[in-house]
Amino acid sequence: MGARNIIERQQVRKQRMSKLVNNLLGKLGQLKRKVMTDTETNNDKPVESSNDSEVKEELGDAKDNTSAVAPRKYKSKQGRPKKRNTKEKSKATGASAVKEKAQKPQKAQKKSLAEKKAKDSKKIEKEPVIKLLINAEEPEECRIALIENGRLESFHVTTVVHEQTKGNIYKGRVTAIEPNLQAAFVDIGTGKNCFLPFSEIHPEYYASDKALQKHWKDLNIQEVIKKGQEMLVQVVKEAAGTKGASVTTYLSLPGRFLVVMPGSDSHGISRKLEDEDERAKLRTMMNSLSIPEGIGYIVRTASKDITKTALNKDLGYLLRLWNETKKRGQAVPSPALIYKDQNIIAKVLRDYYTPDIQEILVDTQESQKQVMDFLKLLPSKQRKTTVRLHQGSRPIFNQYAVEEQIEQIYQPVVKLPSGGSIVINPTEALVAIDVNSGRTAKDKNFNETIFLANMEAAAELARQLRLRDLGGLIVVDFIDMRNARHIREVEKQVKASMKRDRAKVDISRISKFGLMQISRQKLGRPIQMGSYHVCEYCQGRGVTRSVETQSLFYLRRIQTGVVHKNVVGVKCRLPVKVAQYLLNKKREELLEMEKNYGVQIRIEPAPEMTPADHQIDFVKAENGLEK
């Protein structure tokens, strides 16, 4: 009986609970239908102003939210929903929503203005400060440095001993023809014969008229060029080491806005002028000018925003210069200098000046006048640069901390900001650049550290190639990277950094060995050749023999000489350290040679001698000398 009573009680409880749940579900359905009818009536109302509609939509949302959430809130506490006055609450929440919505546009507007001001201030801060420093105080040397935010970006130097010949025009004579090389050697009066490839010989110098009808590739140089023939040549590559300068017979006279090419019919505009409207404008202006037949031209990058009057003035000056050069070439016997390019100040201003340069500082009045005369030739839009005469007690390059950066150009090791370094080693065949990681931070990711060092090296090597004017084949050994994305980023960094270079550059991808090949055009002689000479101690090798090795080398030389029967004595003048080593450490060997061969060996220290110098004289029985 007890068990039956318990089961009946449980069934009664289940029935009560089911009824309670059904009542709650019925009330929730009623509330849901009420909400649906309210929204339908709101949609049927006529369209109101945007602000009123937004306010009423938010009020409606507030009402719906309170009515839908309230039953669930009180269900868990009491088991059935309580009736609440939701109108006041919805009004309050709707009003606050309207207030917040009204404040949002103002806050957003203020925020956008603040961000715009911050961006403008950043742009102002990031704008580089570019200055051109001209040091011409000493007559033996003239140096020009372009600095950007205090960092050396371009450096040019000319000395009395090593004057630049690139761009000069000479009247030369063919001294030799090499059929195997398909080239000729021309004497221009500078001491070394110049190299003239067959491809650089203008057809007007061909000996036979039949050759004019053929392409130069279908001809042999010995058939159209004769030994002793005279021709006007222009230096395109400076002499380096034992090699003479490279020349061409396709002449060009550069101006500020144009490059005139006599004997050519080609016309063009600089590729760096990418705006098609600007290119069309310049093309129209050049077509309206009177250019003689047989004169080609190239419009330079500096011609951007130039006027027709300035172009015509530059063209007239270059044509007069060519006529004078041609007359002088016909009158003067070979070999002789016909046209000398402008001095370094005028040349750098002509080729490197841009309106971005805020200030030009000079240390002589003559240089100041030369710069002022150059700026007067420019259009008004490009005359924003100020010229100032440096009159401080300190030299101009020391004043702006440029001397230390110039000394860095001549060093093989260049430090990087992260602690790594690059080692630059020019050789006869190529320029090798090695990237070293240096110290790596312990708290950083190793791969990220290597990537950072390679990125810094990519930017710095492009700058060093410009400063040192290294050309030819350049091989860069980057630190090995495993991440393909890092490799692509380093390649992009190298290409972006090399865009500032005026020389023609060809860049390869990084190989699986971590090597990148760069081919760079040589604009001139390497910068160190004008200021440095080969070491008299090591003869350019960078190392010298040790005292022990040199001493043993000279001891063997003495032993080889005293073997001859007619030698009766040896006189040696050697560097001090080598002589002391032989007299102190090798005295027994010397005495034994004197005893065995009956000779007298005399060794004298010579303080004036370098480690590589020596003098060994073998005295013969006939009173002769054998050196």
Q: pTM score, two decimals? A: 0.66
Contacts of 143 (CB under 8 A, 6+ apart): 134, 135, 136, 155, 156, 157, 397, 406
6 occurs within a structural domain: yes
362 occurs within a structural domain: yes
Q: At 576, list the tokens.
A: 């001090």
Model confidence at 101: pLDDT above 60: no
Between CA 580 and CA 572 the distance in angstroms is 12
Strand boundaries in 464-584, DSSP class E: 472-477, 505-507, 515-520, 567-574
Name, of 48-52, 332-336, 440-444, the range with top average pLDDT.
332-336
Burial class (CB in 10 A: 0-12, 13-18, 19+), 233: buried
Q: Which domain holds residue 41?
A: 2-109
**Of 503, 530, 557, which residue sits at a domain end?**
530
Q: Which helix H or strand E contains 70, and what residues bound it?
A: helix 50-78
pLDDT score for 581: 92
Between CA 319 and CA 243 the distance in angstroms is 33
483 occurs within a structural domain: yes
465 occurs within a structural domain: yes
Between CA 477 and CA 424 the distance in angstroms is 11
Angle in degrees, 0-180, between the axes of helices 86-126 and 50-78, rounded to the nearest 10? 120
Q: Does residue 338 or residue 304 have the better pLDDT?
A: 338
User: From the centroid of its chain, how far is CA 41?
Assistant: 72
Between CA 121 and CA 15 the distance in angstroms is 76
Q: Do residue 16 and residue 103 come from a single domain?
A: yes
428-445 CB burial, b ≥16 within 10 A, e <16: eebbebbbebeebeeeee
Ranking 123-137, 147-161, 425-439, 550-564 by mean pLDDT, the lowest is 123-137
Average pLDDT over residues 339-358: 86
309 occurs within a structural domain: no
Q: Do residue 394 and residue 421 come from a single domain?
A: no
**Angle CA(390)–CA(392)–CA(396) in degrees, nearest 5?**
60
567 occurs within a structural domain: yes
- C-alpha dist (Å) from residue 562 to 255, 300, 600: 70, 72, 9
329 occurs within a structural domain: no
Q: Name the domain count of the chain.
A: 4
Between CA 431 and CA 526 the distance in angstroms is 12
Q: Do residue 451 and residue 524 come from a single domain?
A: yes
Q: Does residue 449 or residue 63 have the better pLDDT?
A: 449
pLDDT tens profile 263-299: 888 888 888 888 888 889 988 998 888 888 889 999 9
Contacts of 250 (CB under 8 A, 6+ apart): 200, 202, 234, 261, 263, 264
Angle in degrees, 0-180, between the axes of helices 587-597 and 547-562, rounded to the nearest 10? 10
Q: Do residue 359 and residue 459 come from a single domain?
A: no
Q: Do residue 600 and residue 515 come from a single domain?
A: no
% of the chain surpassing 70 pLDDT:
80
Q: Write the secondary structure of 576-616 as one string of H (helix), E (strand) and C (coil).
A: HHHHHHHHHHCHHHHHHHHHHHCCEEEEEECCCCCCCCCEE
Q: Do residue 451 and residue 389 come from a single domain?
A: no
Q: At 370, list the tokens.
A: 């030369």
**Of 530, 561, 594, which residue sits at a domain end?**
530
Q: Do residue 561 and residue 505 come from a single domain?
A: no
Burial class (CB in 10 A: 0-12, 13-18, 19+), 605: middle
Q: Do residue 614 and residue 593 come from a single domain?
A: yes
pLDDT score for 115: 56
**Angle CA(248)–CA(526)–CA(366) in degrees, nearest 5?**
90
Q: Do residue 378 and residue 431 come from a single domain?
A: no
Model confidence at 58: pLDDT above 50: no
Model confidence at 489: pLDDT above 90: yes
Q: Do residue 553 and residue 513 come from a single domain?
A: no
Between CA 18 and CA 173 the distance in angstroms is 120
Q: Does residue 486 or residue 418 have the better pLDDT?
A: 486
pLDDT score for 34: 63
Q: Do residue 432 and residue 525 come from a single domain?
A: yes
Ranking 208-222, 342-356, 541-555, 567-581 by mean pLDDT, the lowest is 208-222
338 occurs within a structural domain: no
Q: Do residue 553 and residue 506 come from a single domain?
A: no
